[in-house]
Structure 1
């Protein structure tokens, strides 16, 4: 960690900090955009942490409502902590600093480690950590709790638990799920939402928790950061039907290995830019507007355990409209 201190602007109020965490595919970016919409007129900065080298979520944040800073190729809860400190220093020294700072972590981040930087004396003079929010996918949370420790850490290390996508589960199950989550973190406030509708007023009503308790499960650490990413880029267009079929089958067969697929793709016969993303075993492909340039570069990120780029290439090869050669794509393993 750098030795230089964050400069304190004594004549200005502290910047309010909100950490947004949640496992892969829970809906963090959607909720963040709703939060930003409810803060129109305020000076807001968003720090977007991408685990891979391709920024997908950063492109989906409403940049008209906020200044977006991207920290990629690592996780700010461990390898990018110094980069986070550098960004905080720049924000603190700004002539017109933000009123609110939102930090959207990667889907595997430990929020306790991210929050700890704001307990430093020099940082706490300028920044006030207000809330740690964990977005939870009501449909997939129990499966992921059985597979990985990261979600345990996120639930325990947060003071507001946002149960998202409640329309996908039975009300009886939702009640049971809340009891499970309450047993894991009895200090947290609960909020439910069907499609990421969440506004800033709900944060103001929740209570700040001073101490973030440490997880006690022996499971913790067993899976920690064994998750890797494989990035895929190509200028070729996809056959929509073949792509959806291949990836749907992949999610069904390798459900315990493939945690998340997300990216932008070019579809044959369509001029729009398409957003591809998976949550659990659900896969969606939707048009989100036009491409930023004539070069329609499809980019996908696969996140999971034990992923091999050769396997990803083999799965995607039959989905291209005009065939695929090895020179047509760029694959990176992390």
Structure 2
């Protein structure tokens, strides 16, 4: 049987990997592409493309399938290989702190897979800060060094940025993410023996799930007062008047957009364990509730 090509999409926290996944799933490329993701939280699929949806699988009218990986990557790959009809290509979205090279090595261990390459998405706005951060830089640069394609997001691909990326990986194709076509994604014939292993510092995670609600002004103020080491934060927030909010925080960038009211507030955050603890986040979140209660009491008095 012909081996099934596998591509890994990597990149640091908030680089724009999910945006690229959305583009792949929505494109009219005529291929049966199986996309494995960590969760569906940020996947935004046009309802007209959906044939069916379950807790862990989206079936699309253009032949694509999006599925959550779960805890066992090899088990997920096995399920893909058993599908009938078998897809034309597998794309794995690595989490922002995952090692895309290690994930790509699954192609070496599974004889029915063909390593097709790593695409690393790089946030052009955050490149300087991340490449100079003593705790993050090694992992960030290794994610770039192991790629066959480097896709720059959120900033123009200026010559100085291109030069910096070339110094980290002189063999990769470098282009803006909006110019990344399906032909760059579906690379073939790469040598899996050249995959690198990246450095990986420890990370701390924080999450909240509950019925807390905030208006947009209060929510934005709370996000701007978050602990500085809380580098990435995303999720859905309930609003007090029937409107909800999509939260996207990356580094110094804070975005809050109106959405339909979610059933509950769900937020997940991450930062370096050497700088951040879940207890610090809990205190920040609790202090925000106390400040809001005090403000409302003052308005009523």
Counterpart mapping for 1:236-275 below 5 A: 236-250=212-226, 254=228, 257-271=229-243, 273-275=244-246
Counterpart mapping for 1:73-88 below 5 A: 83-88=72-77
Counterpart mapping for 1:290-301 below 5 A: 291=262, 296-301=263-268
* Match among 139, 145, 149 for residue 125 of structure 2: 139
Q: Does 1:203 align with 2:174?
A: no
Q: Does 1:304 align with 2:271?
A: yes
Q: Which structure 2 residue ranges, 5 or more long, are not aligned?
A: 47-57, 295-301
TM-score where L is the length of structure 1: 0.73
Asked if the contact 1:161/1:190 (under 8 Å) is kept, the reply is yes
Matched residues, number: 273
Asked if the contact 1:35/1:198 (under 8 Å) is kept, the reply is no
Task: Report the equivalent of 1:7.
Answer: none
* Match among 156, 160, 163 for residue 176 of structure 1: 160
Cα distance change of structure 1 residues 289 and 212 upon mapping to structure 2, 3 Å threshold: farther
- Bigger mean CA offset, 62-71 vs 183-192: 62-71
**Matched residue of 1:166: which SS?**
coil
CA separation in 1, counterparts of 2:277 and 2:99? 25
* Match among 127, 150, 159 for residue 113 of structure 2: 127
Asked if the contact 1:34/1:198 (under 8 Å) is kept, the reply is no
CA separation in 2, counterparts of 1:42 and 1:128? 17
TM-score where L is the length of structure 2: 0.80
Task: Report the equivalent of 1:22.
Answer: 11
CA RMSD of aligned residues (A): 2.7
Q: Which structure 1 residue ranges, 5 or more long, are not aligned?
A: 1-9, 73-79, 325-334
Structure 1 position 314, deviation (Å): 2.8
**Matched residue of 1:42: which SS?**
coil
CA separation in 2, counterparts of 1:145 and 1:240? 33
